[in-house]
Amino acid sequence: GNPKTPWGKPALGYRTRRNKKTRLMIIRRRPPKRKSKG
pLDDT at 24: 61
pLDDT of residue 2: 67
Dist. CA 17–CA 14, nearest whole Å: 5
How far apart are alpha carbons 8 and 25 in whole angstroms?
22
Q: Taking the model in full, what pTM does it have?
A: 0.19
Domain ranges for the chain: 1-38
pLDDT band per the 50, 70, 90 thresholds, residue 32: low
pLDDT digits (tens, 9 = 90+) for 3-30: 666 666 666 655 555 556 656 666 666 6
